[in-house]
Structure 1
Amino acid sequence: MEPLVSNRGSRPPVNPDIASEREAPTFPIEKLINLLDGGAARTRTRRAVEHLISCDAVFNKENIYFLTPTEQYEAAVKKAVHLRQKMKKLGWTDDGLEMQFALRALTENLAFGVHNGVFIPTITELGTDAQIAKWIPLAKDYQIIGTYAQTELGHGTHLRGLETTATFDTFSQDFILNTPKTSSIKWWPGDLGRSANHAVVLAQLYTQGMCHGMHAFIVQIRSLVDHSVLPGVKVGDIGPKMAFEHVDNGYLMLQNVHIPRENMLSRYSQVTSDGSYIKQGSDRINYISMVLTRVRIISKTIVPAFSKACVIAVRYSVVRRQSKLNAGEMEAKILDYLTQQQKLLPQLATAFAFHFMSSSLEAFCNQVNVQIKTKGDASLLPELHALSAGLKAITSETSSAGVEVCRRACGGHGYSMLSGLPSLYTWVVASCTYEGENTVMQLQTARLIKDAGIKLQSLLQSGVEQYIAWNSTSVQLAKAAVAHCHYILVKNFVETMEGLKFEPEIQQVIKMLCDLYALTGILDNAGDFLYDGFMTGKQLDLVTACQLDLLALVRKNAVSITDAFDYSDKQLNTAIGNYDGYVYERLYEWAQKAPTNAKVNHAYEKYLKSHFQLAQSKL
């Protein structure tokens, strides 16, 4: 590490305030790291990959907070292309551990996330063997860049309402695609604004005058020769966003765009030359790529961002000192204040709950996907859809709030982009809406839950129309879905903890975090437990007392627990949450790199100089 600005000759390599936190942890940190990674062998592979990434100058994140949006985009494209070249050179496979860990280290700063994470998987899942053989090698080698054009200006989560049409013409043997009105313009697809030359377009399929619902079509939108927009296509960038400036989210209009019949993804449904429609399997299968994407969002985006925020905030909180707990003593570490513990330590426990749940969800997702691909059996898909929808909602909602708690817990320095926390917040908060708005996701999970179902049935029997009855019960349904998902999370956490009976030291720390997560969930929803008669006021007092005891226990190991996520300083890219704990030195050093500190202040010359010079004669 480069030396920082002050006390360079005499300063120890690690700030004593954070070094003392790592003395004599009550558990072996390396074993907890292995647990989170899924085994010691996976830890070794991950670290080897991260070492290769960290030693490669192209992947350097230095000064990224000072780049313009265009510079961020160009840097992200450069890194994505370089990673593909490196992958081929080293013999890494797309579905291998090495690529998984490379993406873990780089995801937030890579272009082509939709291309790699949605475009390619959609073709793989919904395409025939011939379509996969044609398109996937081109896509994996970046000879084509694709996007996934589903969301429209007027429709997002309600896929049945999509207005884009694909009409089969028996004379030309083409599908003719149209976005017939303003509300049907495709809006938000990543990689579309500047990068993509192809798109998987979700459209309502029409043949022989009949609509067969939503289907996926591969559409070329830009020339492969000069990247110019093709006839009938209007495409561009949607403009500034809350964040994600390295992602070129775009819009797409299609006006009588012809594509060949073989460009409809046809593993489960086909259109013959005379326009006959042949369906193979359930309509639900067309939604598999969205479910897979939802699962990846949880495990690859939401959980890592949340856990990084916890690492940064906890480390900062043992270095930052403020006020005195006892007169005559030095200022206290802010994590020694119970209020700070109550802010941060339940977030840390929640990050662990989400990590273990995402691993279980990925395993279930793989099981369902194998059943569909090998046996054509989609019987478990509705359960996966409901579970992934509810968990996507609760993890993104809770993580967004949790990252914000972490940011605020770092005071003014948490507001600085250099802390890394604002970027993590905007990264995770976006997931509350993309790939399914959270309330809609909750309602997908909640269909016909008992109490809401009784009310729904009562309304229907009284003559209320079904859509009115559903809307009238939607608040209860959404709450029921959240409660159900919280139960699933606690249950999975307990099962994980119980599976560690041969690792008592690790089991002890996981039990502390599991208990803290479960009890915090009860306290956060105390009104519901009281209202439904599950607990009394005295029992809630006991829960509060237990939570406070757990905070004290977790506090002793807090830094060591965050170290178990094993994020490198380069991955965290923070000035206040580095392993060595030198917060103030790094903030000052990084601030010196701001381009504005080296540039002429034109505003001074244009608007202020004359005013200041007038004051010179009066002072």
Structure 2
Amino acid sequence: MVTGDFCLCIVGTFIRGLETTATYVPTNQEFVLNSPTITSMKYWPGGLGKTSNCCLVMAQLITQGEKRGIHLFFVQIRDIETHQPMPGVESGDIGTKFGFGSNDNGYLKLTNARIPRENMLMRYSKVLEDGTYVPPKNQRIGYGTMVFVRAHIVTNSARGLAKACVIAIRYSAVRRQTEVSPGGMEAQILDYQTQQYKLLPLLASAFAMYFTGRYAEDYYEEIASEIEEGKLDSLNQLHAVCAGLKAFVTWVCTAGIETCRLCCGGHGYSHASGLPKLYVFYTPGCTYEGENNVMMLQVARFLMKLYPDIKRNVPIHKFVDYLGADLTLKSCMTAEVAIGCLLKAYEHRAARLLSEAASRVESLVRSGKSHQEAWNASTVVLTWAAKAYCHAFVFRTFSQIVTDAAVDKNTKDVLTALCKLYAVHGILENLGEFIQDGFFSPKQVSLLKNKLADLLAEIRPNAVALVDAFDYPDKVLDSCLGRYDGQVYQALYDYAKSSPLNQQEVLDSYHKYIKPAQLGQSTRHEQPMARL
């Protein structure tokens, strides 16, 4: 994370085991920071390599001979005037990466680097001049910023998928291929159902995930005053939800951008499309701010912790209140494919998968395994349960926002169709998890398949208008294929002409490299003939 000459150094998933130390020395009223091992070095922060003068370092606080947990420290790493490293600081660039070539990612090694006592961030916990440690009212209060950042990642990832959908759908409305009837005009590729099946559910996902991210951000703002007062019940719920949503949404976003690229054919492979840039920009979201599989297991721990209360029907937070549903009930799905019946399907799936994961862990414990062994032997099914929970949360949020939207009837009808497409597509793509216990009948599955085709046809006339609603200017999209005016081929031609290689003919290179190679190749082909 970089702002000007500042970066944030927080690396690793096992935060409790962070090895970087900050030891307080009362006589000097200073902290001495150390990276005692090769694995304790900071690695990857943007701007750290050669740019930043200052950073926030997360380190294990040690005062009066005791470890006090992880805290943040403001550390000057370079001299403001000379830009030379400060005493005890070693920093450098980490080399080339998959993308972000202009981002100065770096490493940091600290050896007895000294900072004044005031450089510890002491809003919630403090170190007094004599070294006395004053803990926060609640150790989890520091999660607030992390939660908000993850909620923002959800919203931002949705924007990335939205941009890819804008490009691919606009291009699909311009690109024509193969006449539908002999002698007729070539059809827009967006009129082919297979293209619709690839793109329109992604468009629905972009709306669903954007609304969900905004909901999480707004909910955080609502409970901000509670957090300041030390009331963290709502924060604990949102922390778990945002961990899962961050993983769920970044996975969908990354895969979705690649699908959009494939839907644009060969042109999607060119930087002129704007899609490769989107891919390399949003793919790291699967790793930063928490590796996705670890995030899903955080959600699983949260759900498993609540599971005893769920089984006892103890009143619980609205984020999880449906997980105690009666699993013997079957789907209420009819030909209408109502949003309410779709929502019950997602909630049933999440509740059942959680029940099955909990049963597996409990069975392994009864067989003699320790709880940790049982957990480690169940992480796949726990991850399935966590993903199902996140999927249900997204659809639940999307459906509620669409239902409550104060918009005209035509707009609501389009949004409702988009919401249903998101749900129906998600069921059919994960059909095994929805029908394993007979929740859906074969007839109901057929209804859903037919509804999917109907929804694709219903949304198709509004597809371009829906991507236009994101209101991304051409300058932001930076795509020849996604131009608002549809002048794709002129844009591609202009893009090609602007290549530096086309500014002049490379005659010197031709005579120096190409012609000798051609002559050499010709000679090799002629030699066997000469022998004949």
With over 3 angstroms needed to count, the CA separation of the structure-2 counterparts of 1:277 and 1:547, relative to structure 1, is same
Paired residues for 1:87-126 under 5 Å: 114-116=1-3
| Comparing 339-348 and 524-533, the one that deviates more | 524-533
Distance 2:400 2:254 in 1: 26
Q: 2:20 aligns with which of 139, 154, 164?
A: 164
With over 3 angstroms needed to count, the CA separation of the structure-2 counterparts of 1:209 and 1:391, relative to structure 1, is same
Q: 1:583 aligns with which of 485, 488, 497?
A: 488
Distance 2:405 2:6 in 1: 43
With over 3 angstroms needed to count, the CA separation of the structure-2 counterparts of 1:205 and 1:446, relative to structure 1, is same
Distance 2:521 2:88 in 1: 62
Contact 2:21 2:62 in 1 (8 A): yes
SS in 2 for 1:574: coil
1:382 aligns with 2:236: yes
With over 3 angstroms needed to count, the CA separation of the structure-2 counterparts of 1:354 and 1:148, relative to structure 1, is same
Contact 2:141 2:230 in 1 (8 A): no
Distance 2:284 2:509 in 1: 35
User: 1:259 — aligned with what?
Assistant: 115
Give how far 1:415 is off. Answer: 0.4
Give how far 1:178 is off. Answer: 0.8
Paired residues for 1:390-409 under 5 Å: 390-409=244-263
| Comparing 486-495 and 598-607, the one that deviates more | 598-607
Paired residues for 1:466-505 under 5 Å: 466-500=371-405, 503-505=408-410
SS in 1 for 2:70: strand
Contact 2:138 2:230 in 1 (8 A): no
Paired residues for 1:403-482 under 5 Å: 403-447=257-301, 448=304, 449-482=354-387
Contact 1:500 1:506 in 2 (8 A): no
Give how far 1:201 is off. Answer: 0.3
1:195 aligns with 2:39: no
Give how far 1:230 is off. Answer: 1.2
1:506 aligns with 2:411: yes
Contact 1:349 1:513 in 2 (8 A): yes
Give how far 1:474 is off. Answer: 1.0
Letter in 2 for 1:343: K
Letter in 2 for 1:115: V
Distance 1:385 1:603 in 2: 59
Distance 2:521 2:288 in 1: 54
User: 2:195 — aligned with what?
Assistant: 340
Contact 1:198 1:218 in 2 (8 A): yes
1:367 aligns with 2:222: yes
Q: 1:204 aligns with which of 35, 60, 63?
A: 60
Distance 2:226 2:511 in 1: 69
Distance 2:146 2:94 in 1: 22
With over 3 angstroms needed to count, the CA separation of the structure-2 counterparts of 1:343 and 1:615, relative to structure 1, is closer
Percent sequence identity over aligned pairs: 46
1:536 aligns with 2:396: no
1:358 aligns with 2:203: no
Letter in 2 for 1:518: A
SS in 1 for 2:186: coil
Contact 1:115 1:147 in 2 (8 A): yes
SS in 2 for 1:211: strand
Contact 1:215 1:286 in 2 (8 A): no
Distance 1:249 1:603 in 2: 36
Distance 2:129 2:14 in 1: 31
Distance 1:593 1:262 in 2: 54
1:232 aligns with 2:88: yes
Letter in 1 for 2:215: S
Give how far 1:607 is off. Answer: 3.9
Distance 2:359 2:61 in 1: 37
SS in 1 for 2:73: strand
Contact 2:154 2:210 in 1 (8 A): no
Distance 1:369 1:601 in 2: 66
Distance 1:597 1:372 in 2: 59
CA offsets per residue over residues 182-224 of structure 1, 9 Å max, x none? 1111011112123211111011111122111111111000111
Q: 2:10 aligns with which of 146, 150, 155?
A: 150
Distance 1:465 1:336 in 2: 57
TM-score (norm 1): 0.74
Runs (5+) with no aligned partner, structure 1? 1-113, 117-141
Q: 1:610 aligns with which of 488, 513, 516?
A: 516
- Note the aligned Cα RMSD (angstroms): 2.0
Distance 1:206 1:602 in 2: 66
Distance 1:286 1:497 in 2: 34
Q: 2:427 aligns with which of 515, 522, 540?
A: 522
With over 3 angstroms needed to count, the CA separation of the structure-2 counterparts of 1:210 and 1:602, relative to structure 1, is farther
User: 1:273 — aligned with what?
Assistant: 129
SS in 1 for 2:159: helix
Distance 1:423 1:174 in 2: 45
Distance 1:336 1:493 in 2: 27
Distance 1:208 1:231 in 2: 25
Give how far 1:115 is off. Answer: 3.4
CA offsets per residue over residues 231-252 of structure 1, 9 Å max, x none? 2111122111111123211111
Q: 1:574 aligns with which of 474, 479, 484?
A: 479
Number of equivalenced pairs? 473
Larger radius of gyration: 2
1:307 aligns with 2:133: no
Letter in 2 for 1:433: T
Letter in 2 for 1:552: A
Runs (5+) with no aligned partner, structure 2? 305-353, 527-532
SS in 1 for 2:220: helix
Give how far 1:466 is off. Answer: 2.0
With over 3 angstroms needed to count, the CA separation of the structure-2 counterparts of 1:192 and 1:328, relative to structure 1, is same
Give how far 1:286 is off. Answer: 2.5
Distance 2:50 2:509 in 1: 33
